[in-house]
Structure 1
Amino acid sequence: MIRNLVEWRPLTDPVEGYTVVMGCMGAMERVAIANLKAIGEQEADNLVELILVFDGPVEEVSRAVRDEIESHPLRDRIRLAGYGPIQYRVARLINWAWVYCWLSWVIAIGLVRSRAVIVHDLDAIPIRRDFFERLYLEWRESGAQFRGVRWYRGGGVTDEMGIPTTFELVLDAVHFRGNHRPFDAFNKTKLVGGKVVDFDTFLWVEWQAPGREIGPVEESELMHPSQLICDYMGVVTGRKALAGRGHSLAMLPYYHHLGGEDRALRQATAALADPSASSFPLDGRDLAVDGCSPAHWAWMEKLIRLAEHGLFGRVRPEVEAFLEPFARRAGKVVEAEVEVGVELGVRAEVGAELVELAA
């Protein structure tokens, strides 16, 4: 059903520089706007284009997103795209986050004019001002077809296989479009060494490339909570229930705030101020948080504090108020090392470091 949804041609005459591509959801437009605002603070000497692909017809992209683009410092290098009629109907029929993710990314990669492409996650907020420039320059120096920030782990894929994760992946579009069709990049289940391996989006294509490497980034360079988009879209599509599960959706009001909409932050602050509250409201839904562990509350607080210091030089008063319930729910997590930084593959030291950030 999705095999022929996208076609592309080999990239034979690439321009110098890099393109950032981002798959966006209409249901999470405030997250897209938050990301756009952060990208507007980025150094962009070698940026060719920023391509945003929304999960619907491009003419249905909201006025709020269009206004942000029209006033953006990089507005002359931003391209807005969406799904064609057949792509939209099929994606809506399947209604699965992995289809939306794959479809948006391959549409964008089919549009790029540069060899270097940075696959930027919607919920990944760049903090370090030269974040994209550094990723590009390190990729160019490496000569790799795929260069990521950590090795993918899961579904039978191991560190030893040496396949980078897709978020903040820098890829060679000449290699990609010259050797593969778009459908090759969709999730695949294969037998490798006698074991069944579930290859997530892009991983099967990466596995076949000779040049793969990683260059880790720090939490202070990029705010990227675990599975935020997948979990929220799972709620929207009815495929996931949050009760009793750990997740990072309590950070979403902060994304709305970064995107210029303050109501979500105020409502969440008021709701979570009640120590017995097991949920908070967002966009007409009550999102359960009863499954979040103290260590995870501490990690989410840490990420937001790092972002505030990196983007604004301090934690602003309204964000400090929002974080107070996080700190209470974290409790006394002192000098603990808990592996909660799933996305960046780091170990979050919570306790003394949070005290320093709060100072």
Structure 2
Amino acid sequence: MMNLLRLQSRRLKWLPINMSVRNLVSWEPMGEPLPGYTVVLACMKRLAPLAAANLRLCARQDCPRMSEMILVFDCPVGDVPAGVLDAVREVAPSIKVRLVGYGERQDEVARRFNWGWVYSWLSWSLAIGQTRTRAMIIHDLDAMPIYPGLFERLYDNWLEEGAEFCGICPYQRNFVTKEMALVATYEMTLDAAYLREKFRPFDLLNKFRLVDGRLVNFDTLLNPQWLSPRRSRAERPIDETWLVHPSLVIGNYIDLVSRRKNFLGVDHSLPVLPYFLYLGGDGDSLAAAGPQLAVPWARSVTVFGHEMGIDGIVPEHWAWMEKQIRRLEQALFGETRPEVKDYLRGFISRAGEHRTVGVETGATAVADR
């Protein structure tokens, strides 16, 4: 009875969103698909340097079967920042890029709610409706590919499995259990033709259901997985060194700048974001946050125009974030650049004895350089 009441409460809370977005996107069944696969990157205008950095990393991929890359921006195409347009022109010899933007009504609704779930659902739905290949890879904005054969491997895994949803790891949050066999969306390869034939865009939005008596929040794209046969889902893990991906960075950034959360007492990966933006040519947040992170007693830092709590980040996570930043630096530049080393001072002191850089051995170790 209690979970039934909670279910009704959650659905009531989501009612304004559901009513506003129900008919915000539409699509038609796919005609004759093009061969190969499409890579989709859902982008934010506010994080344009991150989109530029990610795009340049994607251009380093060896991807002969990629049909195109679709960048979906949370604004009209005419408002996409110049830095992104420069990056698109720069990578043109390597990959074909198509820009997709929100329509006026879509832009208004997304800005009104200013919530990561709405942005991800809207951007991915637009991409699914636009893609011309059956296979579509959802590449997260905060996921930086290192291994040059990543996208080709994801596509091969999808072909070999013959599943409509082929992910690299299980989804196990919001009371979704391993036994439910749902896969996470990041770096997922899905069958866009299947979704356009069997589901409406609204079906991809978060849904709340009772499963075996417990309340389950089906995150974006989990609902169609759950409503599809078990054989439609497959999990094919990848090597951790292939990708630098501090999960939930984009959603947490939105929560921070919308004042929904201040992250005091919370473990999170937002300190990686200034570095990602620096990769895209914007060093302001790196310069602002670095000295604050280095203050041993600081419980928060002021970054992105807001106070962000760091007191809940555990030492092991500071160590993990340093490792990811250095892994990407060394993949791109052969070593960690001086200004990035300086930014990492606070990470190192906060990790303490849990630091792994230069300590671990084996295939996944990262050197202290």
TM-score (norm 1): 0.91
Per-residue Cα deviation, 1:31-74 (whole angstroms, up to 9, x for no partner): 11111111111112011111111112221111111111122245
Residue in 1 aligned with 2:350?
329
- What CA distance in whole angstroms lies between the structure 1 residues aligned with 2:64 and 2:108? 38
Q: Secondary structure at the match of 1:231?
A: helix
Residue in 1 aligned with 2:367?
357
- 1:293 deviates by 1.2
Matched letter for residue 182 of structure 1: P
Residue in 1 aligned with 2:125?
106
Residues 161-240 of structure 1 aligned to structure 2 (within 5 Å): 161-210=180-229, 211-240=232-261
- What CA distance in whole angstroms lies between the structure 2 residues aligned with 1:355 and 1:99? 37
- What CA distance in whole angstroms lies between the structure 2 residues aligned with 1:356 and 1:219? 12
* Percentage of identical aligned residues: 45
Count of residues paired in the alignment:
346
Residue in 1 aligned with 2:175?
156
- What CA distance in whole angstroms lies between the structure 2 residues aligned with 1:286 and 1:120? 29
Query: Does the CA contact (< 8 Å) of 2:256 and 2:306 recur in 1?
Result: no
Residue in 1 aligned with 2:299?
278
Residue in 2 aligned with 1:261?
282
Residue in 1 aligned with 2:149?
130
- 1:198 deviates by 1.3
Q: Secondary structure at the match of 2:179?
A: helix
- 1:157 deviates by 1.1
Matched letter for residue 170 of structure 1: T
Q: 2:89 aligned with 1:70, yes or no?
A: yes
Q: Secondary structure at the match of 2:282?
A: coil
Unaligned runs of 5+ in 2: 1-19
Query: Does the CA contact (< 8 Å) of 1:128 and 1:310 recur in 2?
Result: no
- What CA distance in whole angstroms lies between the structure 2 residues aligned with 1:292 and 1:106? 33
Q: Secondary structure at the match of 1:244?
A: coil
Q: 2:321 aligns with which of 290, 300, 313?
A: 300
Larger helix proportion of the pair: 2
Q: Which moved more, 1:159-168 or 1:21-30?
A: 21-30
Q: Pick closer, same or farther for the CA change 1:57–1:356 going to 2, 3 Å.
A: closer
- What CA distance in whole angstroms lies between the structure 1 residues aligned with 2:46 and 2:349? 30
Query: Does the CA contact (< 8 Å) of 1:18 and 1:114 recur in 2?
Result: yes
Q: Cα RMSD over matched residues?
A: 2.0
Query: Does the CA contact (< 8 Å) of 1:295 and 1:350 recur in 2?
Result: no
Residue in 1 aligned with 2:12?
none
Per-residue Cα deviation, 1:11-38 (whole angstroms, up to 9, x for no partner): 1310110001111111111211111111
- What CA distance in whole angstroms lies between the structure 2 residues aligned with 1:329 and 1:122? 27
Residue in 2 aligned with 1:310?
331
Query: Does the CA contact (< 8 Å) of 1:334 and 1:352 recur in 2?
Result: no
Q: 2:28 aligns with which of 9, 29, 49?
A: 9
Matched letter for residue 299 of structure 2: S
Unaligned runs of 5+ in 1: 336-348
Q: Which stretches of structure 1, 4 residues or longer, exceed 6 Å deviation after superposition?
A: none
Matched letter for residue 270 of structure 2: L
TM-score (norm 2): 0.89
Q: Which moved more, 1:318-327 or 1:30-39?
A: 318-327
Matched letter for residue 292 of structure 2: A
Q: Secondary structure at the match of 1:51?
A: strand
